[in-house]
Structure formats: C-alpha cells, structure tokens
Structure 1
Amino acid sequence: MSKVSKLGQLANFLLYITLQLAVSQFIVLCHTASCFIYVAFLLLLPRRQEGMPLLLLISFAVGLFVDIFYGSAGTHAFSSVLVVYSRDFLLKLMLPASGYEAAAQPTLSNLGWKRFSLFSLILIGIHHTALFFLDAGTTMLFFVIIRKVVFSTLLTYTTVLLTQSIILLIRKR
C-alpha cells in the first residue's frame, strides 16, 4: 500500500468513526433501527489477497474501538471481523477474475449500482445479524431481533449509499 493510500485509509477511518460516534450513534428509529455507518469503512477497504491477515486485524481494531465507546463486550469487533472475512469471498463470487484490480476499493464508482447494492446489503446484513444476536445473547427474542436486523440493515445501507453518492458527485466535479 502506498503512502498516499495509507493516508487515504486513515482519513476514511477518521471520517467514518467520527460520523459513527458523533452522529450515527444517536440515529435510532422507533427503538428498532440503528445506523452503523462505520461498517462502510470495512466495506471500502482495498481488496488485497496477501493482506487478508492485516485486513482482519484492522477490522478487529475498528470493531474494538467502537465497542469501547458503546460499552459492548466485543460484539462490534466480532461482527467487523466477520464482515471483512466474508467480504473477500463475496467479491470473488460477484466479480470476474480478470475484471477487478486487486488493490482497488469496492466503491460505488468501481462496482456500479447493482453490484455495490448487492455487495453492501449482504455484508451489512451479515454484520447486523451477528451484532444483534450476540448483543441479545439468546434466540428467545428471534422475531424482535430479526426486525431490528432488517430495519437497521436498510437504514445503514441507505446511509452508506447516500455517503457513496455524495462522494461520487464531489469527485465528478
């Protein structure tokens, strides 16, 4: 990873964590949907085969950082690692072997609307399913948890898509 790329990733990390802690943390709709914008940082990490252990370590650190501020016991760390681990497998399934640069970020501009939507919805759903079931610690409230997963996934997805669209518009100018 080049020095510029590392600085860009650090800037992305700071942006998404700041958005999560300053804004998204307080966006809760009807005690059902919570917004976790920091997941966008994990989705947008560059795709690197040889750097998978590093990506898993980064995702663990991001999740642990969020856990500290939420006072949760590792639920965000586990969910974040699960997303990054699943992300590589999903990208291999979705993209042609020769059609994607190994170090490129899976952004809206690189993947297009359809692929980015499918990519982000699946991974945000995986994150939220793990997060809410771990947080509940039981399956007794299965339907309540599923409702939270669905609505939180849709809210987070909308926020990620809106953020990516704004970035795309700014870059086109």
Structure 2
Amino acid sequence: MSVVGMLVRQLLRYGLYAGAYILLISQLSLFDRGWCFFYLGFLLFLPLGTPVAVQLLLGFAMGLTMDITYDTGGLHAAAAVLLAYLRPWVLRLLTPRDGYDAQDSVNVHQMGWQWFMVYLLLLVGLHHLAYFLLELGSFRHFGLTLTRILASIAFTSVAMLIVQLLFFPVRRGRG
C-alpha cells in the first residue's frame, strides 16, 4: 500500500473511532460507574510498524479532540499520550519468539487470544488508571475511583474485543 493510501486509511480510522465515540458511545455508561473509551481503538490497533513519534502525535491529536469536545482540560490528551508512549514497550514485552512479521497487525485472530488480552488489558488499564487518577486529583475518594477504573476497563475491553471480532479479518494463525 502506498504512503498516501496508508495516510488516507488512518485518517478514515481516526474519523470513525472519534465520530463513533463522540456521537454515540460517550453517552453509554455501565451502572454510572464505567465508561467505554472507544476512541482508544484507534491507538490500540495502529499498525505495528508505526513510528513512536507518529504514535505520540496521534495519541495527542485523538486526546485533544476528546478534550475539546468534552472540555476536559487535557485529561484525555495526557492519558492517550501515555498509552501511545507505553504501546511500543508493551509490544516489545509481548514480542513472540519469532518476532513480528512485517504484515502483522494487532489482531486477535492473528496474534492469539492470550497475547491480545494481555496487550489490551495492560494498555487499557494503564490509560484508565492515568485518566481517572488525573481526573480525581487526590486519593480522597480512591475506592469509588477504583470502581470506576475497573468498570471502565471491563467496558472498554469488551468493546475493543467486539471490534476485533467483527471488523478485523481472520488470517493465518501463529504457530
């Protein structure tokens, strides 16, 4: 795929994840304790070969879009940049013995359930921990915040798993 084609594809993905979150998913809650941060799918499912600097810029752009939309003063941007910063570390941590192939992507069908769930829960968990602790600004109501973090991790992770199962192609399996 050409560079222009890849750029157009990523811009469309950006618009789809941001638009779906802003127009529909942000209105959903899980018992008023958990929220689905659907826009994270854009960052989580970037191609494995995406340079770190580009990931950081995309994380900031996506977070800033959410902050401008919801007037959250940089909470989304800070947490999304943290996710983009930690993603290469998590990918290195989870590198298969044979390494990643050039055509590999973050795909539950391709990488396997165990790999995908560790990847997803680590990054979503770290993002949510940063987001909700920054939102709280103290440890005064930590029990309630911990409930919100755990419920949101569950809600977001299930949504990302559904996206993977519905929209990512089934390809060859890993050994």
Task: Give the structure-2-normalised TM-score.
Answer: 0.90
Q: What is aligned with 2:134?
A: 134
1:126-152 deviation line (CA, Å, top 9, x unaligned): 111111111111111111111100000
1:80-159 mapped onto 2 (5 Å cutoff) = 80-96=80-96, 98-101=98-101, 104-159=104-159
Which amino acid is the alignment partner of residue 96 of structure 1? Answer: P
Q: Give % identity.
A: 31
Q: Distance in 2 between matches of 1:151 and 1:106?
A: 24
Q: Given the superposition, is the C-alpha separation of residues 125 and 93 from structure 1 closer, same or farther in structure 2, using an over 3 Å criterion? A: same
When structure 1 is superposed on structure 2, of 1-10 and 72-81 the one drifting more is 1-10
Gaps of 5+ in 2: 171-175
Shift of 1:5: 1.7
Structure 2 letter corresponding to 1:149:
I
After alignment, is 5-14 or 80-89 more displaced? 5-14
Q: Report the residue type matching 2:12 in the other structure.
A: A
Deviations 1:25-58 (A, max 9, x none): 1011221011110011111112237x21121011
Q: TM-score, normalising length from structure 1?
A: 0.91
The 2-side partners of 1:77 and 1:97 are apart by 34
The residue that corresponds to 1:36 in the other structure is 37
CA distance in 2, matches of 1:63, 1:56: 10
Q: Give the secondary structure class of the aligned counterpart of 1:96.
A: coil
Displacement of 1:102: 5.1
2:20 is matched with 19
**Displaced runs of 4+ in structure 1, greater than 4 A?**
none
